[in-house]
């Protein structure tokens, strides 16, 4: 289990612990434990607090630094940080997460419970498919325009089988707008390539941006293998540094099998037999077995940079793979999530539930926040809690398929832009200054897995190599953050 500590100085503004909350993955749930009540756990939100929180979120005004007359009480600021912009929004239909059977099973249960003869709102949307898609296309176009002019730092496209995150120029120090897509399959990669979209696979060196899966799988030797994690970052032309290992087939065994398959194919072809009916004799199936090993895995993540992000947007607008055609979610477009307003967006609150529990003989107050929690939200909530509590802990439940978003950036090779220029270009992106500064930092490889401690001083940027890319449990006590990427054990 990896543990790291970061000391936070006692200052009202709370000097941030940089990369502690910097992971780019989506989260489904966040549960915080504290010794005393804070925020919406202490008392119901009043009218003025809810109104100020909503206004602050809509106008991107954060706390007392916004020079506005909005309510800046803990309840108001907590409520503001528990809001998200989403499209589409259909009451009664769970639109996050979209992958797997979780959403479909929940939808099926709610659909089967309606037995009064009225058409259920959770059934297929055959009649509404066209207007839903028309509104969704305008929403995606609006978000893409915001990314281009850097008035939105990032946004997510949550499709049934994959997730895309678009990031503006300057995010992670990358000088151009870019997108990350995961997980992918060979068919999806081929469809993207056929649209003329170049991509890189930074977590697996087996593929390059200029070669298709088929042409690549026909190569042999080192060109058809994946680099070791311990290899030095020398593949600048591939856009990859220290890619994760991918298990290639054994060369000796494959060579013999492929030759036998080719001999058998040639023999049957001479006899006039259609070899396409014999799948086991098809050498392409054997050669491409290593290609399918990475399908739907973190290694299949795609990195797409400008100007190809325009092509990716057009692909998403027209690709049938973005929408389910059967089942209870048939006709419902992918879910769009963003930290700022966009055309057709709905401002939705997270589900917040507070309770009190007794642990080790002491009364603890638990607060659960559930929903599509964006990467900057844990940082904002933790910053708010440190201003009012001396100690607390929280556990995050990430969306498993998006974990590779947090780990891929250090494997990219690019000319990092100045942080000052990156922050200046994103000054109107809607994030508060402290969060914007973290978003513009370039993540580094984690230097070691052992315990370490970093002082939160002005030169903290020199120690970012010791900070984690992902986390699941964070504890704050006596001015220090301790975090781990393992779930805490329960006694």
- When pLDDT is averaged across residues 329-336 and rounded to a whole number, the result is 90
Which stretches within 34-166 are classed as H helix? Answer: 47-59, 74-80, 102-112, 129-148
pLDDT score at 453:
40
Q: Average of pLDDT values for 179-193?
A: 94
DSSP 206-248: T--TT--HHHHHT--GGGGSPPPTTS-S--GGGTBSSPPP--P
CB-CB contact of 132 with 88 (8 Å):
yes
Average pLDDT over residues 145-154: 96
Paired with 454 in beta bridges are 6
Task: For residue range 39-86, list pLDDT tens digits in order.
Answer: 555 567 899 999 999 999 999 998 777 778 898 898 999 999 999 999
Confidence band for 259, pLDDT divided at 50, 70 and 90: very low
What is the structure's pLDDT at 101? 41
* Residues paired with residue 84 on neighbouring β-strands, in sequence order: 348
Measured distance CA(370)–CA(84) in Å, rounded: 12
Q: What is the pLDDT of residues 292-314, one digit of tens each?
A: 678 888 889 999 999 999 999 99
pLDDT at 331 over 60: yes
DSSP annotation string for 373-392: E-THHHHHHHHHHHTT-SEE
Mean pLDDT confidence for 186-193: 94
- Residue 213's pLDDT is 55
- Return the pLDDT at 26: 66
Q: Is the pLDDT of residue 152 over 90?
A: yes
DSSP state string for 6-34: EE--S-TT----GGGG-----EEEEEEEE
Give 455's contacts (C-beta < 8 A, 6+ positions apart): 7
Report the alpha-carbon distance of residue 35 to residue 47 in Å, rounded: 27
C-alpha separations of 120 from 129, 325, 378 in Å: 16, 18, 36
Residue 303 has a pLDDT of 95
pLDDT at 233 over 70: no
- Tell me the CA distances in angstroms from 161 to 55, 97, 321, 402, one per residue in order: 35, 11, 8, 12
CA angle, 171 then 174 then 176, to 5°: 95
CA torsion through residues 260, 263, 265, 267, sign: negative
Burial class for 335, CB neighbours closer than 10 Å (0-12, 13-18, 19+): buried
Least confident of 68-72, 202-206, 248-252: 248-252
Q: What is the pLDDT of residue 185?
A: 92
Is residue 363 over pLDDT 50?
yes
Least reliable range by pLDDT among 47-51, 105-109, 339-343: 105-109
Token pair, residue 366, equals 């638990």
Least confident of 34-38, 44-48, 115-119: 115-119
Name the more confident of 328 and 261. Answer: 328
Distance CA 427, CA 322 (A): 32
Q: Hey, what long-range contacts does 224-233 have (CB within 8 A, 24 or more apart)? A: 224/248, 224/290, 233/413
Distance between CA atoms of 153 and 166, rounded to whole angstroms? 8
- Reading the block at residue 185, the tokens are 């399959």
Residue 322, number of CB atoms within 10 A of its CB: 20
Rounded Cα distance between 428 and 416, Å, is: 21
Question: According to the model, what pLDDT value does residue 294 have?
Answer: 82
Higher pLDDT, 184 or 113: 184
Per the listing, tokens 């479909």 go with 104
Rounded to the nearest 10 degrees, the angle between the axes of helix 186-194 and helix 308-318 is 110
Amino acid 452: pLDDT: 37
Q: pLDDT above 90 covers what percent of the chain?
A: 29
3-state secondary structure 81-115: CCEEEEECCCCCCCCCCCCCCHHHHHHHHHHHCCC
Residue 280 has pLDDT above 50, yes or no: yes
In whole angstroms, give the CA distance from residue 65 to residue 12: 12
What's the pLDDT score for residue 24? 54
- Residues 408-441 as b/e (b if ≥16 CB within 10 A, e otherwise) read bbbbbbbeebeeeebbebbeebbbbebbbbbbbb
Average pLDDT over residues 305-334: 89
Please check the confidence at residue 465 and state whether its pLDDT lies above 50. no
The residue among 83 and 126 whose pLDDT is bigger is: 83
User: pLDDT-derived band of residue 272, with 50, 70 and 90 as boundaries?
Assistant: low
Give yes or no for residue 174 having a pLDDT over 50: yes
How does DSSP assign 275-309, residue by residue? GGG-GGG-HHHHHTHHHHHTTTSGGG-EEEETTHH
**What is the model's pLDDT at position 50?**
93
Mean pLDDT check: name the lowest of 42-56, 176-190, 195-209, 269-283. 269-283
Q: What does pLDDT average to over the chain? A: 72
Question: What pLDDT shows up at residue 488?
Answer: 63
For residue 250, what pLDDT band results from cuts at 50, 70 and 90? very low
Q: How confident is the model at residue 25 (pLDDT cuts 50, 70, 90)?
A: low
């Amino acid at each position: 289990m990896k543990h790291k500590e970061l000391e936070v100085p006692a200052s009202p503004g709370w000097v941030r612990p940089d990369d502690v909350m910097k992971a780019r993955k989506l989260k489904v749930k966040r549960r915080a434990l504290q010794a005393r009540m804070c925020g919406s756990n202490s008392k119901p939100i009043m009218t003025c607090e809810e109104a100020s929180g909503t206004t602050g979120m809509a106008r991107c005004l954060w706390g007392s630094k916004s020079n506005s007359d909005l309510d800046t009480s803990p309840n108001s600021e907590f409520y503001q940080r528990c809001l998200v912009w989403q499209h589409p929004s259909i009451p009664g239909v769970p639109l996050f997460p979209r992958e797997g059977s979780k959403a479909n099973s929940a939808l099926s249960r709610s659909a089967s419970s309606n037995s009064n003869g009225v058409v259920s709102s959770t059934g297929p949307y055959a009649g509404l498919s066209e207007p839903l898609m028309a509104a969704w296309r305008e929403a995606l176009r609006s978000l893409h325009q915001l990314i281009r002019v850097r008035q939105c730092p990032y946004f997510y496209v949550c499709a049934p089988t994959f997730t895309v995150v678009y990031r503006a120029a300057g995010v992670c120090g990358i000088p151009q707008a870019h997108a990350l897509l995961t997980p992918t399959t060979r068919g999806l990669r081929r469809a993207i390539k056929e649209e003329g979209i170049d991509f890189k696979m930074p977590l697996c060196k087996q593929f390059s941006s200029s070669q298709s899966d088929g042409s690549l799988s026909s190569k042999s030797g080192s060109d058809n293998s994946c680099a070791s994690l311990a290899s030095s970052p020398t593949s600048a032309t591939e856009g990859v540094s220290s890619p994760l290992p991918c298990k290639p087939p054994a060369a000796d065994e494959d060579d013999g099998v492929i030759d036998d398959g080719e001999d058998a194919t040639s023999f049957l072809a001479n006899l006039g037999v259609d070899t396409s009916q014999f799948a086991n004799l098809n050498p392409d199936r054997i050669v491409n077995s290593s290609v399918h090993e990475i399908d739907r895995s973190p290694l299949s993540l795609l990195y797409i940079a400008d100007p190809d992000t325009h092509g990716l947007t057009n692909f998403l607008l027209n690709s049938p793979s973005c929408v389910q055609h059967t089942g209870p979610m048939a006709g419902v477009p992918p879910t769009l999530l963003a930290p700022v307003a966009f055309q057709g967006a709905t401002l939705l609150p997270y589900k917040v539930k507070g309770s009190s529990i007794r642990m080790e003989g002491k009364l603890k107050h638990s607060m659960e926040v559930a929903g599509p929690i964006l990467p900057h939200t844990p940082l904002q909530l933790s910053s708010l809690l440190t201003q009012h509590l001396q100690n607390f802990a929280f556990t995050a439940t990430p969306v498993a398929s998006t974990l590779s978003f947090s780990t891929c950036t250090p494997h990219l090779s690019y000319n990092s832009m100045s942080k000052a220029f990156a922050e200046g270009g994103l000054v109107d992106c809607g994030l508060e200054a402290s969060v914007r500064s973290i978003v513009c930092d370039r993540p580094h490889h984690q230097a070691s897995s052992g315990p370490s401690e970093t002082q939160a001083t002005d030169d903290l940027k020199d120690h970012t190599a010791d900070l984690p890319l992902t986390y699941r449990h964070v504890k704050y006590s006596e001015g220090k953050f301790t975090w781990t990427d393992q779930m805490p054990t329960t006694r």
